[in-house]
Chain A
Amino acid sequence: AQSVTQLDSHVSVSEGTPVLLRCNYSSSYSPSLFWYVQHPNKGLQLLLKYTSAATLVKGINGFEAEFKKSETSFHLTKPSAHMSDAAEYFCVVSGTSGTYKYIFGTGTRLKVLA
């Protein structure tokens, strides 16, 4: 069985400071992991994905995430927050068990303070 836990429902940072959004996963198989971002009243946009090629994954808009198997984590980071980063972020796990299924985390709402 697969599951994903986003450890913080809300995160506030000041503009220009680092961002850390935490995600832990559980999977019986080698997982694929994704981060999506959703701005208000919009659909979800892919930020980055991990599919076992490299443990440090770089995405769009300066975001990156590191896959740590020993910690079952896939935390999202950005060195310097921008006002435009304010949005909701979803961590997603998908396995290769033979069935197509994506499991979404409950989301982390990022607030960026001026």
Chain B
Amino acid sequence: KAGVTQTPRYLIKTRGQQVTLSCSPISGHRSVSWYQQTPGQGLQFLFEYFSETQRNKGNFPGRFSGRQFSNSRSEMNVSTLELGDSALYLCASSLLTGASSGANVLTFGAGSRLTVL
């Protein structure tokens, strides 16, 4: 069974540019969530999608957006990049069958490491 696939693994951008990251969940998983990981702030929740609907959103500016397609694949976009957006962006998928599914396990991808110059 294939795991969670994130592309690209590494990318370098300059300030002001935008970037799109992709996440393919485990087959059958309908929930995809995104996290930003930095040395200073640790792991921070960005947003979560379930059946193409954003159900939860973290405390990030509107420059950070995402979407989920009918095949459960998800993309996140960051516009007008800033130096502080340099981070490892992690995607996780889960089987989640309902709203009260905290016991479902998150399976993470290897991440996309973004460097903003």
Contacts and interface: CB of A to CB of B under 8 A. Distances in A.
Interface of A: 31-32, 34, 36, 41-46, 49, 51, 90, 94-102, 104, 106-107
Interface string B28-72: 000101010000001101001010000110000000000000000
Interface in B78-99: 88, 90, 92, 96, 99
Given A41-B113, A98-B100, A46 B42 contact: no
Residue among B45, B92, B103, B105 with the highest chain A CB neighbour number at 10 A: B103
A45 B42 contact: no
Nearest to A51: B103
Contacts, number: 67
Given A100-B55, A101-B56, A43 B99 contact: no
A69 B12 CA distance: 46
Contacts of A100: 31, 48, 50, 55-56, 96, 99, 101-102
Interface residues of B, number: 29
B27 to A, nearest CB: 17
A79 B109 CA distance: 29
In this complex, which of A44, A46, A97, A101 has the most chain B Cβ atoms within 10 angstroms of its Cβ? A44
A43 B110 contact: yes
Given A101-B45, A102-B45, A94 B108 contact: no
A106 B102 contact: no
B29 to A, nearest CB: 13
B7 interface: no
A100 to B, nearest CB: 6
Contacts of A32: 102-103
B106 interface: yes
B4 interface: yes
Contact of A107 (B43, B92, B107, B110): B43
